[in-house]
Structure 1
Amino acid sequence: MRSVELFAGCGGLALGIARAGFAHDIIVERDSDSVTTLRENKMRQIAHVRDWPIAQCDTRELDFRKLGNIDLLSGGPPCQPFSIGGLHLGPRDPRNMWPEAIRAVREIRPKAFILENVRGLFRPAFAGYLAYITLQLTYPDAKLRDGESWKSHLTRLRQHAESRAGQDAAYRVISRAINAADYGAPQKRHRAIFIGMATQYGDDWSFPAATHSQEALAWSKHVARDYWKRHHVRRMSGPASVSEGQALKRVVARNKKPDEHPWLTVRDAISDLPTPTKTEKVAGHWQHPGARAYDNHTGSHHDEPAKALKAGDHGVPGGENMLADRQNRVRYFTIREMARLQQFPDDFIISGSWKAATRQLGNALPTSVGQHIGGAVMKLVQSKRSG
């Protein structure tokens, strides 16, 4: 099935979508470091990436009407306008690319789309703009008029939705705030996911269910205790965090093994890598110096999913790009370890300096999210075709 990927970054979502079975007609990214990464991995014949037509350009320069019969549009419009760590300018931020993502939906008319952004988009401060995005994706042909403000356009879209004409929606759109750890990533990365299905595929579908859970990890560590046996490490005497303690109480009260898979942990992701040194013996696996812990800057625990990686080269303010051992000594994750936490294969190279590579990985989506959600969308489209 054919797909288009916009705002690709270094390719986390694109790779997950490709693993789900989609073939990208075009991969679009503007950032030069990310494009260098994509092209280097294409040249090195990395699985899936070797087949990608990569275009380095501003999405605003593209005429999407030249792309026909596309099954899936996917991508992550730049998240800084809605990030908790940003300036909170939202729709007033010049980096806001949601209008371009919506234009792409309108001009391509894919059978489905998967768009992702930061969870901050679900904050009350952006409730109006969230409704605006959803209604535009539902009725992409009801375009913004020249000189019209987005708030006036939102009013018009709401009136349209409530009218008889509103019954002719182009897409049914479902959005959720998810934790990537619930979809098989060894990282507690919270994202906003928008899934749209052309109305010809009906309403008989729902947002893909989570595959992993903290409760299942708590069971594995503290009830079955197979987690420690598998890793050949000494069992911790208690939960690694307050939230894990609460999860343990829930599973003990139910006295039943959870149906989901356990959350993947940092140890699951990187324990087979050698201890990093100043010498690079594994690609990207060398120790960047200078890590230190202080209040609210404590790093990730080995036996939980990592904190969400940040695009800043030092991961401030929460120590997100650091690893803490059982004695609370910290060090920076290596580039290879961060790539593992985002689920890139070990032969996938992140190009550029430490700062450039960290920025690319800190902006990526773990590949398992795209693979699971993309696979669910593919099954739905295929089932409706066969039906």
Structure 2
Amino acid sequence: MTGLRVVEICAGAGGQALGLQNAGFEHALAVELDPTAAETLRRNTNGVVVVGDVANPEVWRPADYAGVDLLAGGVPCPPFSIAGKQLGSSDERDLFAWAVEQVEVVRPRALMLENVRGLATNRFSGYRQRVLDRLTQLGYVADWRLLHAADFGVAQLRPRFVLVAMRPEDAAYFRWPEPVANHVSVGVVLRDLMAANGWKHVDDWVKLANGVGPTLVGGSKKHGGADLGPTRAKRAWEALGVDGKGVADSAPGADAPHPSERLPRLTIEMVARLQGWRAEDEWEFAGRKTSQYRQIGNAFPPPVAEAVGRVIRSALEHEGVPREILELGTDVHDPVYRALAGTEGFVSIERLIDALNEGSHASVERRLAVLAQDFEVEQQVTPTGTKYRLGHFKGFTGQDDHDRHEYMKRFRSRVS
């Protein structure tokens, strides 16, 4: 172990926890809302686990962990997911902006937050720009990267959008992890589990399952049971020789039909393997089958968390040759947001067109309409045209009077 400590928020069933542990981090604390997932963490980790809303000061005090090496987490995905209508800061479950604000309190050497690829879309370019600008204000160098689990030895696509931020003296040593050379197939990864009960057709099934699986969908407490996702995902699994309409209690028996007659279903153990847990991890999931499947399906794949954790550790230990840190954070995600945020007064449409570069009135107005979903955008009509000013951010950053508090009181049992 390196002696590096991590505080993990929205820790789930421990995919990120296991990956960071394998990368050399020790958990000072893990915070998780779901009691069953928290029990999974307790069974498998040595760190302190607390249950409750991570934004509730009665659950934990971020200031108690000031100076920790890494603040990490997989904050709720629905605010940015296409399936969740991409409400962003208008979704009461959004904790991304709140997590960024904790950097001012905790002052970690590094921050790592992961979420769905929806956060990488144009819909959230202003949101991302605000995150980068806020971290810059706090003295950190930040960068985003879309990582695919299949590039790190996981037999599943599972794209995740990852944010890493560090202080300049450490950021100079940070480099994103390099993908592995070859992808591994579903059949190869699951052969031993699918053959556990002596299924005589297992090798024919392995040939059929010769590809990377689609993203596993863990679902929420409000929707669905233990199956492999919506219709499109089920069709993709069917093409790989898997019946995605449910999760089996056991592997096929010795006399189970050939996959051309009846496709096998995955077991919980197989789903965990596809998410990146290995047999040697000996990870024990608490709860019933549907809960276990949800915990696994919503997890950050351990190999991806480990890969990112290792390069963060290397940067914190100043391994390798430092480089110019400007390379890590020079991209402007939303020039219109940047132009508005850079002044306290109103900005003319002409200046915003110039900021957008090759933009037009229509393109700026579309950009402003998107920004208005996450920020108050004020207008001032003048004889020479309309001017705009960026108002308050609508998201939750810890405000005592935010709608999120009432939402959590009413619907906490349904939030996942």
Give yes or no for TM over 0.5.
yes
Any idea what the Cα deviations from partners look like across 1:103-146, whole Å, max 9, x if unmatched? 22221111111110000001111111121222223324xxxxxx
Distance 2:273 2:263 in 1: 18
> What secondary structure does 1:273 align onto?
helix
Distance 2:212 2:293 in 1: 18
1:355 aligns with 2:350: no
1:334 aligns with 2:248: no
User: Once the 2 structures are TM-superposed, how far is the Cα of residue 305 of structure 1 from its aligned partner?
Assistant: 1.9
- Does structure 2 conserve the Cα–Cα contact (< 8 Å) formed by 1:266 and 1:301? no
User: Once the 2 structures are TM-superposed, how far is the Cα of residue 339 of structure 1 from its aligned partner?
Assistant: 0.6
Report percent identity of matched pairs: 31
- Does structure 1 conserve the Cα–Cα contact (< 8 Å) formed by 2:171 and 2:315? no
Q: Which residue in 2 is equivalent to 1:7?
A: 10
> What secondary structure does 1:2 align onto?
strand
User: Once the 2 structures are TM-superposed, how far is the Cα of residue 342 of structure 1 from its aligned partner?
Assistant: 1.5
Distance 2:208 2:11 in 1: 29
Letter in 1 for 2:13: C
Distance 2:85 2:298 in 1: 17
Q: Which residue in 2 is equivalent to 1:378?
A: 313
Q: Which residue in 2 is equivalent to 1:206?
A: 175
1:183 aligns with 2:183: no
Structure 1, unpaired ranges of 5+: 43-48, 141-169, 213-259, 282-299
Any idea what the Cα deviations from partners look like across 1:148-174, whole Å, max 9, x if unmatched? xxxxxxxxxxxxxxxxxxxxxx11111
Q: Which residue in 2 is equivalent to 1:318?
A: 232
User: Once the 2 structures are TM-superposed, how far is the Cα of residue 205 of structure 1 from its aligned partner?
Assistant: 3.5
- Does structure 2 conserve the Cα–Cα contact (< 8 Å) formed by 1:30 and 1:57? yes
> What secondary structure does 2:192 align onto?
coil
Q: Which residue in 2 is equivalent to 1:38?
A: 41
- Does structure 1 conserve the Cα–Cα contact (< 8 Å) formed by 2:173 and 2:320? no
Q: TM-score, normalised by structure 1?
A: 0.67
CA 1:128 to 1:19, structure 2 compared with 1: closer, same or farther past 3 Å?
A: same
Q: Which residue in 2 is equivalent to 1:250?
A: none
Distance 2:29 2:174 in 1: 28
Q: Which runs of 4+ in 1 moved over 6 A?
A: 384-387
- Does structure 2 conserve the Cα–Cα contact (< 8 Å) formed by 1:59 and 1:100? no
- Does structure 2 conserve the Cα–Cα contact (< 8 Å) formed by 1:322 and 1:331? no
Any idea what the Cα deviations from partners look like across 1:275-297, whole Å, max 9, x if unmatched? 478xxx9xxxxxxxxxxxxxxxx
Structure 2, unpaired ranges of 5+: 199-206, 220-225, 242-258, 323-416
Distance 2:54 2:164 in 1: 20
User: Once the 2 structures are TM-superposed, how far is the Cα of residue 268 of structure 1 from its aligned partner?
Assistant: 2.6
Distance 2:161 2:321 in 1: 31
User: Once the 2 structures are TM-superposed, how far is the Cα of residue 337 of structure 1 from its aligned partner?
Assistant: 0.3
Q: Which residue in 2 is equivalent to 1:269?
A: 189
| Greater C-alpha radius of gyration | 2
Any idea what the Cα deviations from partners look like across 1:274-328, whole Å, max 9, x if unmatched? 4478xxx9xxxxxxxxxxxxxxxxxx96211221110132211323595642749
1:308 aligns with 2:222: no
> What secondary structure does 1:134 align onto?
helix
Letter in 1 for 2:177: P
1:364 aligns with 2:271: no
1:172 aligns with 2:86: no
CA 1:385 to 1:67, structure 2 compared with 1: closer, same or farther past 3 Å?
A: farther
CA 1:274 to 1:202, structure 2 compared with 1: closer, same or farther past 3 Å?
A: closer
